[in-house]
Structure 1
Amino acid sequence: MTHLTRCPLNPARARSLTGSPQRLHAAVAAAFPPPPGGQTTRHRVLWRLEEKEHQPTLLILSPTPPDLTHLVEQAGWPRLATPDAPGWDTRPYTPLLERLHSGMRLHFRLTANPTRAVHRPGQRGVRTALTTPADQIQWLLDRAAPAGFTIPVDERIPSGAPRVTVSATRALRFPRTTDSGARRDVHLRTATYDGLLDVVDPDALRRTLTDGIGRGKAYGCGLLTVARDTA
Structure 2
Amino acid sequence: MYLTRFRLNAARPGTRRLVASPQSLHAAVMSSFPHALPTATDRPRVLWRLDRNAAAELQLYVVSPDRPDLTHLVEQAGWPAAAAAGPPGWQTYDYARFLDSLDKGSVWNFRLTANPVHHVRVRDGQPVKRTPHVTAAHQISWLLDRQEAGGFRVQEKPAERRHTEHGDVHQVIVHDQRSLDFRKGGSKQPVTVKTVTYDGRLEVTDADALRRILTQGLGKAKAYGCGLMTLAPAQ
Change (3 A) 1:32 1:184: farther
State the alpha-carbon separation in 2 of the partners of residues 191 and 40 from structure 1: 29
Alignment partner, residue 26 of structure 2: 25
Shift of 1:184: 3.3
Shift of 1:167: 2.5
Alignment partner, residue 140 of structure 2: 137
| Structure 2 counterpart of 1:203, from 189, 208, 213 | 208
SS of match in other structure, 1:169: strand
State the alpha-carbon separation in 1 of the partners of residues 198 and 44 from structure 2: 25
SS of match in other structure, 2:232: strand
Matched, 1:221 2:226: yes
Alignment partner, residue 83 of structure 2: 81
Q: What is the RMSD computed on CA atoms of the aligned residues?
A: 1.6
SS of match in other structure, 2:24: helix
Shift of 1:84: 4.9
**Matched AA of 2:70:** L
Unaligned runs of 5+ in 1: none
Shift of 1:99: 1.1
TM-score, with length taken from structure 2: 0.91
State the alpha-carbon separation in 2 of the partners of residues 195 and 175 from structure 1: 33
State the alpha-carbon separation in 2 of the partners of residues 150 and 113 from structure 1: 19
Alignment partner, residue 183 of structure 2: 175
Alignment partner, residue 54 of structure 2: 53
Alignment partner, residue 113 of structure 1: 115
SS of match in other structure, 1:82: helix
Matches of residues 61-100 of structure 1 in structure 2 within 5 Å? 61-82=63-84, 84-100=86-102
Aligned residues: 225
Change (3 A) 1:41 1:83: farther
Shift of 1:34: 3.9
Alignment partner, residue 166 of structure 1: 174
Runs of 4+ in 1 over 6 A off after TM superposition: none
Unaligned runs of 5+ in 2: none
> 1:58-81 CA deviation, whole Å, 9 max, x = no partner?
110001111111111111111111
Query: What fraction of aligned residue pairs are identical, expressed as a percent?
Result: 48
- Work out whether residues 113 and 189 of structure 1, in 8 Å CA contact, stay in contact via their aligned partners in 2: yes
Alignment partner, residue 3 of structure 2: 4
Matched, 1:191 2:196: yes
SS of match in other structure, 1:73: helix
State the alpha-carbon separation in 2 of the partners of residues 39 and 22 from structure 1: 18
